[in-house]
Chain A
Amino acid sequence: METLLGASQVTKRFGGLVALSNFELEIPERSITSLIGPNGAGKTTFFNLVTGFYQPDEGEITFRGRRIDGLTADRITRQGISRTYQNIRLFANMTALENVLVGLHPRLRSSWMGAVLGTGATRREEAWAYREAREILAFCGLRGKGDVLARNLPYGDQRRLEVARALASQPKLLLLDEPTAGMNPRETEEMTRFIRRLRDELGITIFLIEHDMRVVMGISERVTVLDYGQKIAEGPPREIQNNPRVIEAYLGRGAAEALEEAVVSAGSAGAAGPGGHAGAGAR
């Protein structure tokens, strides 16, 4: 399989702090890859680097063989990468449908002139966009909720709407930042299945940050582990689970969290997840 996203020698510093150092990564097409690591390990920083929110200090990032570091975020989205956020960032005062319509933005081309004059092309495109947006909502299990303001949606629906909005740009690569954070076991189960569907039915490559080890081990084909901005392990889930350095990274400094994680994975109902994750990663 071909490499879709590649990072080589990527380093990012914030003042004196090295958030990511000499990071190497290759994500094959149509794969599901997870990025894990303790809080503040640099996971979200890497997402921000890929999506153009930050620029790397060193190294390069390529997408489909072309360099994308240094491009603005909107250009990168147009190349076929889209993402969700760890702390949900919907357009709160717009309806669910409008959120998805914004996601469709890069696939539309009508100009403001066309809109003002009401040209045929614009009308056709808008009609198409509305239909497409409704279909995406339905695909994400949000049928009938399109007219609800995003901020009034229940938590689980908000997470789903974020995915729907990200899907609207027809990405080749979808970055999911803790897609199951704060979900109960049943919702987590549903989301996991949904993520797999995205890959199987739409052929989208998935790259996710996740703290719930059951999700990670359940769906990923490859797992990359970050600690203190450095890659400490990489491989299929089985290997990672038994890798001594990974265990040390988690238990050595964050024993309490790992325990909590274990409790959550054990499926204790209602222990709504990532107690210790607030503030994980950089924003």
Chain B
Amino acid sequence: MGERFRAALRPAVVVGLVGGVMALLLSLVGMVNAFAGRPIITGVLSMGHTLLFLTALVTGMIAARRVLHASRGAGRPVALPGAALAGLASGFPLAVLVLVGQVVNLRAVLQNANPVLYGLLTFGRDPGAGLPQLVLAGALVGSLGGALTLLPGRVSQAVVAGLGTMLLTGLFAELLQGILWDLGVPAATTRLFMVQKGLTVAGALVTGAAGALVQAVWASQTPKVRRRLDALPPERRRRVNVALAAVGLAIVLWLPQVLGSFLSYVLVLVGLYVLMGLGLNLEVGWAGLLDLGFVAFFAIGAYTLAILTSPETGWLALTFWQALPVAVLVALIAGVILGVPVLGIRGDYLAIATLGFGEIVRLLVGSDWLRPLTGGSQGIAHIPRPVLGNIALIGPQQIYYLVVAGCIIVWFVATRLRNSRLGRAWMAMREDEDVAQAMGINLVQTKLLAYGLGAGFAGVAGAIFAAMIGSVFPHSFQLIISINVLALIIVGGMGSIPGVFVGALFLVAMPELLREFTEYRLFMYGGLLIAMMLLRPQGLWPEPTVRLELAESEEPEVPARVTAATSPGQGD
């Protein structure tokens, strides 16, 4: 027994130490310090500590699973102690850091190994009292993680939902208070649940319980509702869908009124990234062409609009609406032109070549050589605002509608393309370029359409961006943007249209809303890219496999004379 016990617990210790090293890294890069200032539950729990607890939680979950796996299920009784052990072990690297930090001045090299961090890690006590507490807290949270793994799926999902809801409301408590105030909720009521930047204990309990309850109800009711929906005749089902879409649209249109200027600005950014994401998704997710220079088309859209509209360049001084189609067209043509030379380049070489293009465009745009056209490093300012009827779309609350309209149109186009002959050709090309060609697909045409249309989408985003900011600088169009867009389509799910929306909300809105995140944005994007590829390459919201063969009855009837014998495209 003892031997088997030990064999089952060894993976737990290993997982725990790996988790501890992760926690150490998060502390030393400064995330724990930076997030300590943002309370989840005011006076009780900060985001900094939460970060460490989340690490311990995940460590416990993985440890429990490993123990079960290592002992082929026989280790069930030791899984929970294993998780606790892993949580315990995950505290050790941090404890070592604090102890070493008492003797050696680590700060000379590691800028974040400072007394503030040590204070956080020891809960403000001296190391003798604080460190045991840290390690014990690790064990406790680790066993919670283990319990979540061992509990039946529904229960643990509800718990996770509850914790998640609490966490999110806590994070955004400040914003929520503002919104509730605008909605006319009396401050006294709000104060019961939220104070300053965080939740009250009561607020935490209520939000946690509400989240868990909603998840539980959702999990038990969704299958029933879905079954009833499926049972409806197609005509009525369509009506339900239309009604849902209408409600959704109404909410989307109403949002800026409640959210105010700042949140509308964030949503505008999300929308711009959705536009770019849909474009890059078309290239990478569908056609399999990894493009790291995508920002070039965003830049070309923005610059074209700026050059055509700004009085500074003294060219045409068109209005936004006159210049928009031109900007999109120019971006589209640029996509095709830059696509021609890289037609023969495959796979990872293509990624690097396009990265080169993106950088070349940026360097050229900012050079003194093209200064008369692009304004060099000073860029172009005084881009006039779009005017709709008599209303100038000045603030983000107005631009928002422009972006929403753009997103809806581009989403519509993307959906139509995906289910078209061209969409299938793209995906075939992604799967196997040579075979796709042997199926009669013209690779040149198909690739150039992917580059062109993808670039066109980015051009829309660029034009709106330029009009919103009112000026363009080469500095706004760095490689980082390409990486952001790539990250969001991968996190959402490569090739998935809803994934683009999810990814953009998650990766663009979060760092904008939580200023502390901004600093660590690329740290997290990088980590996310690795983690997604390792653990969930299909993304958070993968495109569902469409059921088409068995949906026969839904196909619109077609005149009977079009049959196999008289197929279109015969005698080509």
Q: Which A residues form the contact surface with B (CB < 8 A)?
A: 51-53, 72-74, 77-78, 82-83, 85, 89, 91-98, 101-103, 105-112, 115-116, 118, 122-132, 134-135, 137, 144-147, 149, 165, 169-170
A94 near B427 (CB under 8 angstroms)?
Answer: yes
B434 at the interface (CB under 8 A from A): yes
Contact A106 B440 (CB under 8 A): yes
What are 14 A-B interface contacts by the 8 Å CB criterion? Answer: A53-B434, A91-B436, A102-B424, A102-B436, A103-B439, A105-B441, A107-B568, A109-B569, A111-B422, A115-B416, A128-B558, A134-B552, A146-B548, A169-B440
- Closest Cβ of chain B to A98, distance in Å, is 6
Q: A131 vs B567: C-alpha distance in the bound complex, in angstroms?
A: 11
Instruction: Check A94 against B439 for contact (C-beta < 8 Å).
Output: no
CA distance A134 to B547 in the complex (A): 13
Binding site for A on B (CB under 8 A): 413, 416-417, 419-425, 427-428, 431-432, 434-443, 449, 453, 545-550, 552, 555-556, 558-559, 562, 564, 567-570, 572
Contact A132 B548 (CB under 8 A): no
| Contact residues in B for A82 (Cβ distance below 8 Å) | 438-439
Closest A residue, CB atoms, query B566: A128
Task: From known contacts A74-B438, A101-B424, infer whether A107 and B567 are also in contact, taking CB-CB under 8 Å.
Answer: yes
B442 to chain A: closest residue by CB? A74
Residues on the A chain within 8 Å of B562, using CB: 124, 128
User: Which of B443, B555, B556 is A74 in contact with, Cβ under 8 Å?
Assistant: B443
Extra inter-chain contacts (7) besides given A77-B438, A110-B420, A134-B549, CB under 8 Å: A82-B439, A98-B548, A115-B420, A115-B422, A132-B567, A144-B550, A146-B548
A30 CA to B364 CA, complexed, in Å: 61
Question: A78–B572 contact, CB under 8 A?
Answer: yes
Please judge, given known A-B contacts A74-B437, A77-B438, A116-B417, whether A128 and B567 are in contact too, CB under 8 Å. yes
> Which residue of A has the minimal Cβ distance to B427?
A94
Q: A107-B568, A115-B420, A130-B548 are in contact. Are A169 and B439 (CB under 8 A)?
A: yes
For B546, B548, B570, the residue with the greatest tally of chain A CB atoms inside 10 Å of its CB is B548
Determine how close the nearest CB of chain A comes to the CB of B165; give it in whole angstroms: 35
- Residue in B439, B443, B556, B570 whose Cβ sees the most chain A Cβ within 10 Å: B439
Q: Are A149 and B545 in contact (CB under 8 A)?
A: yes
Minimal beta-carbon separation of A168 from chain B (angstroms): 8
Cβ of A102 and Cβ of B416 under 8 Å apart? no
Q: Is there an interface contact between B564 and A95, defined as CB atoms closer than 8 Å? A: no
A118 & B438 in contact (Cβ 8 Å cutoff): no
| Nearest chain A CB to B268 CB, angstrom units | 25
**Interface contact A170-B548, CB-CB below 8 Å:** no
Task: Tell me the complex Cα distance, A59–B12, Å.
Answer: 68
* A73/B437 contact (C-beta < 8 A), A102-B425, A115-B422 known: yes
Tell whether, in the assembled complex, residue B449 and residue A91 are in contact, meaning their CB atoms are under 8 Å apart: no
- Give complex CA distance A53, B453 in Å: 28
A187, B58: Cα distance in complex, Å = 49
Determine if A83 and B438 form an interchain contact, defined as CB atoms under 8 angstroms apart: yes
Q: From residue B477, how far is it (CB to closest CB) to chain A in Å?
A: 28
CA A93 to CA B432, docked complex, whole Å: 10
Assuming the contacts A102-B428, A109-B568, asked whether A118 and B440 have C-beta atoms less than 8 A apart, the reply is: no
| In the bound complex, CA of A43 to CA of B95 (Å) | 68
A115-B420, A115-B421, A130-B548 given as contacts; is B435 within 8 A of A89 (CB)? yes
Cα-based distance from A112 to B556 in the complex (angstroms): 20
Smallest CB–CB gap between B343 and chain A, Å? 12
State whether A147 touches B555 (Cβ < 8 A): no
Whether A72 touches B437, Cβ cut-off 8 Å, given contacts A108-B421, A112-B453, A132-B567, is: yes
A77 touches B545 (CB 8 A): no
The smallest beta-carbon distance between B325 and chain A, in angstroms, is 15
Task: Name the B residues within 8 Å of A97 (CB-CB).
Answer: 548-549
Q: A94-B427, A95-B546, A130-B548 are in contact. Are A125 and B440 (CB under 8 A)?
A: no
Are B422 and A137 in contact, CB atoms less than 8 angstroms apart? no
Closest A residue to B438 by beta carbon equals: A73
Q: Shortest distance in angstroms between A121's beta carbon and chain B's nearest beta carbon?
A: 8
B contact residues around A101 at 8 Å (CB): 424
B453 and A74 within 8 A (CB): no
List chain A residues, Cβ under 8 A from B442.
72, 74
Q: Find chain A residues with CB under 8 A from B545 CB.
A: 95, 147, 149
Q: A51-B438, A74-B438, A89-B435 are in contact. Are A108 and B548 (CB under 8 A)?
A: no
Q: Which single residue of chain B is at the shortest CB-CB distance from A127?
A: B558
Contacts of B431 in A (CB 8 A): 91-94
Q: If the complex has contacts A91-B427, A125-B568, A130-B548, are A77 and B440 also in contact, measured as CB distance less than 8 A?
A: yes
Question: Closest CB-CB distance, B285 to chain A, in whole Å?
Answer: 11
Contact in complex: A91, B435 (CB < 8 Å): yes
- The CB with the most chain A CB atoms within 10 A, among B425, B436, B437, is that of B437
| Min CB gap B233→A, angstroms | 21
Q: Is the CB of A108 within 8 A of B435?
A: no
Selected from B432, B436, B547, B555, the residue in CB contact (under 8 A) with A130 is B555
CA A126 – CA B552 in complex, angstroms?
Answer: 13
Give the distance in Å from the alpha carbon of A111 to the alpha carbon of B449 in the complex: 11
* A111 shortest CB reach to chain B, Å: 8
Residues of chain A with a CB closer than 8 A to B550's CB: 144, 146-147
Which of A85, A89, A95, A105 is within 8 Å of B440, CB to CB? Answer: A105
Q: Which residues of B contact A77 (CB under 8 A)?
A: 438-440
